[in-house]
Chain A
Amino acid sequence: MNSGVKFVFILIVSIELTFILNACINFIVAIVAAIYLMLSRLTWQRYLLLVLMPILPVLGAWTSFSTYGTHNMAIVMATRIVAYIYLGAAFSFTTNMVDLLNTLEQKWHLPTTFVYGLRGALTFVPRVKQEIKTIHIAALMRGEHLSFYSPQLFFKAILVSLQWSTRLSTAMVSHGFTENAPRTHFQSIIIQKRDWLIAISLLVILQLMIAYL
């Protein structure tokens, strides 16, 4: 399925779940998302993560609402968390962000400055992880411990962002990137009618379930 269509579809379902207090629907949504995930052939680590991830939040929601709310509400909130986790994974574990950005650019006309700026920044994700470690260790060498709430840590993160953004934008412009100029595409995104059809029919089924369950 096209990642843009999938994104909009999952977003609509997620927002709807926020307003619906129905454990049965949460449960069905979670099952459907889980089946989709099983068919997506992820790595076993991801499946393990999907099994472990809900445990703590579900327990937390369950005890909060069975202590302070009603038993019924506890079931709704606990199942809702599972539905969210699996719906979210059905998007983020199976979709390439670059694909989504391409769709946003080519089909829904997001300005190219944003699309390519974001694509550039996304490639820095592994370096950001490394940089946080580096900042941490560099501080330790001077006998300072930076905790996650330390303004020093944020200051250095912002300093690095400023440096990298200057370099990356210079590099992009020197390679011919012109802000918001029309572009041709090597990979053009085609949204198949089938994708819309599947998304819309699933949404209709969901509305019918909400109305009748």
Chain B
Amino acid sequence: MHTKWSLRDVIFIALIAVFFGFIFWAWAFAYNVIAAILTPMGLSPYANDATIGPWLMAGPMAGYIIRRAGASIIGETLAGTIEMVFGSQWGVMNIVAGAIQGLGTEIGFAIFGYRRWDKTSLTASVITVTIVTFGWDLLRNGYAQYSFGLLVGLFITRLISSAIFAGVIVYFTQKLIAKSGILTTHQSEVIS
């Protein structure tokens, strides 16, 4: 496994982070609208878990494409940082949240020693990122206050959201990339 990051890899991962940072930033508005709609129905805790998926995407996207140890965590942390630069309601915590989300994804790929890059490792990363971010929300968003039944509901909601965005969509994006052959022609530089 190659661990040295070349200038091009760094710029590549940072640009992916800029794209996703912008998407994250735009998604925050959707999140607030969804939360506002769910609030009068008394379902606002679900807004947090149902909408988490898009925020988790930069990590698996970077990891699954660059296929290198640390890519998920760096990609997701940078994307969080960029979101903060655009101006965000979570401020500096974006960086911390990004690092934690990236770590969650990274664990999933690390379980397989960064050797498997298929549905299995991607599924594992979806599960680990859900567990890690849920654990973080127990602390940060006061989830410990909620009843056990509500927590189970929230966990399942979060798992579905991350499976769709950090799993299925990442998988299909990667398929498009594989089909186009851009990474095989550039393989010597990007994946080496």
Q: Which residues of A contact B (CB under 8 A)?
A: 7, 10-11, 14-15, 18-19, 21, 49, 53-54, 56-57, 59-60, 63-65, 67-70, 73, 76-77, 81, 84-89, 91-93, 97, 113-114, 116-118, 120-122, 124-125, 128-129, 132, 148-149, 151-152, 154-155, 157-162, 164-166, 168-169, 172-173, 177, 179
Q: Chain B binding site: helix, strand, loop or mixed by DSSP?
A: helix
Chain A contact surface mostly:
helix
A89 touches B54 (CB 8 A): no
Jot down 14 A-B pairs with beta carbons below 8 A, ordered by A. Answer: A14-B93, A65-B142, A68-B145, A68-B147, A88-B84, A91-B84, A114-B5, A121-B18, A122-B18, A125-B85, A132-B23, A151-B175, A166-B186, A179-B7
Q: A49's closest neighbor in chain B, by CB? A: B87
Verify B92–A14 contact, CB threshold 8 A: yes
| Further contacts, 11 of them, CB under 8 A, given A60-B32, A68-B147 | A63-B39, A85-B90, A91-B84, A118-B10, A121-B10, A121-B14, A125-B82, A151-B172, A155-B176, A155-B177, A166-B186
List residues of chain B with CB within 8 A of the CB of A169.
Answer: 6-8, 11
Interface residues of B in 50-109 (CB under 8 A from A): 54, 57, 61, 65, 78, 82, 84-85, 87-96
* Among A15, A57, A166, A179, contact of B96 (Cβ-Cβ < 8 Å): A15
Bound CA span A125–B85, Å: 10
The tally of residues in B whose CB lies under 8 Å from a CB in A reads 66
Q: Which of B9, B11, B42, B87 is close to A92, meaning CB atoms less than 8 Å apart?
A: B87
Shortest A84–chain B CB gap in Å is 5
Interface residues of B (CB under 8 A from A): 5-12, 14-19, 22-23, 26-27, 32, 35-36, 39-40, 42, 44-45, 47, 54, 57, 61, 65, 78, 82, 84-85, 87-96, 139-142, 145-147, 150, 165, 169, 172-173, 175-177, 180, 182-183, 186, 189-190
Q: Which residue of B lies closest to A58 (CB)?
A: B89
Within the assembled complex, what's the spacing in Å between the Cα atoms of A52 and B88? 12
Contacts of B140 in A (CB 8 A): 18
